[in-house]
Structure 1
Amino acid sequence: MLSIKPFLAKLFAKSVKRSVLKWVNTPLETQQKVFEKLIEEASHTVFGQDHGFSEIKTYQDFAKRVPIRDYEDLKPYVDRVVAGEEDVLWKGKPLYFAKTSGTTSGAKYIPLTKESMPTHVEAARNAILLYIAETGNSGLVDGKMIFLQGSPILNEKNGIQLGRLSGIVAHYVPKYLQKNRMPSWETNCIEDWETKVEAIVEETLPEDMTVISGIPSWVQMYFEKILEKTGKKVGEVFPNFNLFIFGGVNFEPYRSKFENLIGRKVDSIELYPASEGFFAYQDKQHEKGMLLQLNSGMFYEFVEAETFFEEQPERLTIANVKTGVNYVMLISTNAGLWAYNIGDTIQFTSIKPYRIIVSGRIKHFISAFGEHVIGSEVEQALKIATEVSKIQVSEFTVAPQINPSAGLPYHEWFIEFENEPENPSALAKDIDQSLQNQNSYYKDLILGKVLQPLKITAVKKNGFQDYMKSIGKLGGQNKLPRLANDRKIADALLQEDLLN
């Protein structure tokens, strides 16, 4: 019997597309309405009274009264919310805290409110529905769907539930997808990542998987286990698997490896979710960038990354941004974050509509010599070089080598190869040239003999997985930084004997 679900999914997709286009076509008005509502709703909170929200009439008023903050700066307010106080950052109490591991603050507690929580679920849903509206591929709703995520088990702190964002969201899977969803609740609750992946493989092998989603590095681990167990490519095991949904990191360094593991190309959708908000998703298969969510209870500001650490950097709204510029993104939200620096840098690929790519982290860069190399530049350099040489890379990270045993300093690239390059020095030369083409500061340092060209250090098979395991961050939503301005990861790889 033919299922009615694909037909209904197409109708729903058309309806959602119409509602999305309404705010996409009125971006400035949409953001102004969001701004006004946020200020009005929070005017009686502790934060609102401390910053004179009742006096704020314009964005300029807001920018004068509310300084840029990161988690450390906002922590005194968050601590009061965690202690159980009401009406601190947002009206009432949050529904949840998304607990994340901060690098400087220890655990971070990011509030999720009854106003903000639905936007996380809606954005994820809309990403799939816009894909269906564009491609007509609605048959996927009849198959099984998996999201490799953290445990949905929640704890409680002063009457507020807390857990990982992906675990919290697992409680909000729409009823019409409950029967399609995998893995089982029991398997999803397994804490040890390697045990969990083994269990997921066992559960999914007999099923008709159509959609698979998660952070690429951890989905890769799942695919490799399937290949190891069956001796078949993933696309052969799951003939109807046609959509890969990912977020958290750039997929490009993984793309050729994935196509090899799957045995064919599949469509993909990129998402940009975080505990602080679901910021963007890919709305078109053949357009670069993700659609910025302007109607999701978040007001955005942007600061050029190059000026961010100045005393009073200029803050911009979407009305004044340009394509191709590296911006730090600030958010004010209906979860009670205000002019909050999430730590990411983005670039606009389009302003009609507003589409973005994540270019890196404001604290994840290499500028040991003034070169300010960012994440998107190293990813692009590796992509270009490996496309030429047909080399497949499992994972990589980059660190400065300031005090080499001989010669000039250089950038050291730690790469875990799927297939070893025949000529590593030629590959290093290609990557270096591509990096010079993108970053004029880096090029000047090479030409000026301040730096020597980059060097590649090979990492053992599964070396990065072993490193992440050693620091207690294997699986879930944890990601390996693409680059750092220090040698913390580099030294750990050496100490753990993870280099080839």
Structure 2
Amino acid sequence: MSIKSFAAKLFAKKIYSDTQKWVQNPVETQQKVLEMLIAKAAQTNFGKDHHFEGIRSHVDFAKHVPVRDYEDLKPYVEKVVKGEENVLWPGKPLYFAKTSGTTSGAKYIPLTKESMPYHIEAARNAILHYIHETGKSEFVDGKMIFLQGSPELEEKNGIKFGRLSGIVAHFVPAYLQRNRMPSWETNCIEDWEQKVDAIVEETYNENMSVISGIPSWVQMYFERLEKKGHKKVGEIFKNFSLFIYGGVNYEPYRAKFENLIGRKVDSIELFPASEGFFAYQDKQNEKGMLLLLNSGIFYEFIKADDFFSEHPKRYTIGEVELGINYVLIISTNAGLWGYNIGDTIQFTSTKPYRVIVSGRIKHYISAFGEHVIGNEVESALKEAMEGTNIRVNEFTVAPQINPEKGLPYHEWFIEFEKEPANMDAFSLAIDKAMRKQNVYYDDLISGNILRTVVITKVGKNGFREYMKSIGKLGGQNKLPRLSNDRKIADAL
């Protein structure tokens, strides 16, 4: 065991111990976070506009601070972008994470000197929890890669901005710099396909032990490695032992990845976003990710079924229940207040609080009142594939309301790596799994309102070409698992 590997185990033990202190006191921890946020921002423009000086409890906070999405918060953000100080948070942000907006172009998410360290620490602590649990630390001696956006940043009124993953690249700890790949020059390549080719050439002969990124784009990297070497990724990188991912559910990709790698490797799931780093997988054999309650973020939860009602109840951490689909609302030390990030989550445990990402509040199918969510379609596909050799590259689901003949249906667009021998049987297996999960969908099938699932095959690289056509190939871009209209379906 190397000195670095031994030191990692000692550090992991300390971080685990530190984490348990707030894990054991979740409600008190969140109350302290709220009090800190309110006190710190009381003299900002936002704090004055929303009477922070009079807030003493969560009830007060919910009364004075409405739930907002980016468009609602935009008037404040625009002032910050123009260079004004003390608007949402004291002073100016260190950075803006620039993301693509859905209704009005680019979104600028502030990152402050208080919030930025938590993004770095959370990713580090996820790995340290893995080391503490498994005792495996030898991988720290190998090379590590994170498939990410360009670290080249622009500047606007004295504040630098770029993609979150590119900003984070500036904060890689010194003790990891020697292990980190690819090179700075390769990371700066903007064209995603050129970048992946360059990464393949740069890493092919290296001792890669940790690989990280969004599964769909790591898949492209693995496919090109296999093409270059004419062998499995696990043979090319004999010491590759840990895959770290976030952004989308890994399960639909797992069979394909294990085939590309040629063996199983351990994995760690993360729940990061430009708005904050919310959770990471702390146990290999427990469902869900540990919700980070001591990271400068105060969480509220609104039941997804009630979200669009006039005055939905805003729950705090001590009030949540298992298995309920909640919209995640955050207030942060980057100056986001009562902010709807758009993700829905479900708690899998309350001792400690662990969550799964169940979907997006705007990504659902409810053309007939069924309200199918992302977690349901992912789980149904996984169940239908179990015990088979079927492998799926990518998929998305949309309603077909006006078919040329017969009843309406849910149309599953699937790009197969290995097709089922009997497509009809596979369709019925998906449908059966969907009906078990969603009683409304089951009622629609039973009542002959909908017919069973219809699968439409997508040609090789069809989804990749679609993402390329809309300028979202690579990086942190993700394909929606489902949508309530035919926009993606018609493009495919």
TM-score where L is the length of structure 2? 1.00
Give a deviation string over 1:206-249, Cα, whole Å, max 9, x none: 10000000000000000000110101101111111000000000
Q: Write the mapping of 1:303-382 to structure 2, written as runs, cut at 5 A.
A: 303-382=302-381
Q: Does 1:279 align with 2:284?
A: no
**What SS does structure 2 have at the residue aligned with 1:311?**
coil
Residue aligning to 1:100: 99
Q: Quick one: which amino acid aligns to residue 122 of structure 1?
A: E
Displacement after TM superposition at 1:266 (Å): 0.4
Q: Quick one: which amino acid aligns to residue 323 of structure 1?
A: L
Q: Quick one: which amino acid aligns to residue 265 of structure 1?
A: K
Residue aligning to 2:205: 206
Distance in 2 separating the partners of 1:358 and 1:461: 28
Residue aligning to 2:116: 117
Give a deviation string over 1:391-430, Cα, whole Å, max 9, x none: 1000000000000000110000000000122111110000
Q: Write the mapping of 1:44-443 to structure 2, written as runs, cut at 5 A.
A: 44-443=43-442
**What SS does structure 2 have at the residue aligned with 1:389?**
coil
Q: Quick one: which amino acid aligns to residue 287 of structure 1?
A: E
Give identity over the alignment, percent: 74
Unaligned runs of 5+ in 1: 494-500
Distance in 2 separating the partners of 1:152 and 1:251: 26
Q: Quick one: which amino acid aligns to residue 430 of structure 1?
A: A
Distance in 1 separating the partners of 2:6 and 2:453: 54
Distance in 1 separating the partners of 2:203 and 2:389: 31
Q: Does 1:43 align with 2:39?
A: no
Distance in 2 separating the partners of 1:392 and 1:288: 23
Distance in 2 separating the partners of 1:486 and 1:479: 17
Q: Quick one: which amino acid aligns to residue 81 of structure 2?
A: V
**What SS does structure 2 have at the residue aligned with 1:151?**
coil
Contact 2:389 2:418 in 1 (8 A): no
Distance in 1 separating the partners of 2:70 and 2:57: 25
Displacement after TM superposition at 1:4 (Å): 0.9
Distance in 1 separating the partners of 2:129 and 2:448: 50
Unaligned runs of 5+ in 2: none
Distance in 2 separating the partners of 1:390 and 1:384: 13
Displacement after TM superposition at 1:104 (Å): 1.2
Distance in 2 separating the partners of 1:312 and 1:105: 26
**What SS does structure 2 have at the residue aligned with 1:418?**
strand
Displacement after TM superposition at 1:389 (Å): 3.0
Distance in 2 separating the partners of 1:13 and 1:421: 44
**What SS does structure 2 have at the residue aligned with 1:285?**
coil
Contact 1:389 1:427 in 2 (8 A): no
Give a deviation string over 1:297-352, Cα, whole Å, max 9, x none: 00000000000000000100001000100000100000000010000000000000
**What SS does structure 2 have at the residue aligned with 1:393?**
strand
Displacement after TM superposition at 1:390 (Å): 2.2
TM-score where L is the length of structure 1? 0.98
Residue aligning to 1:497: none
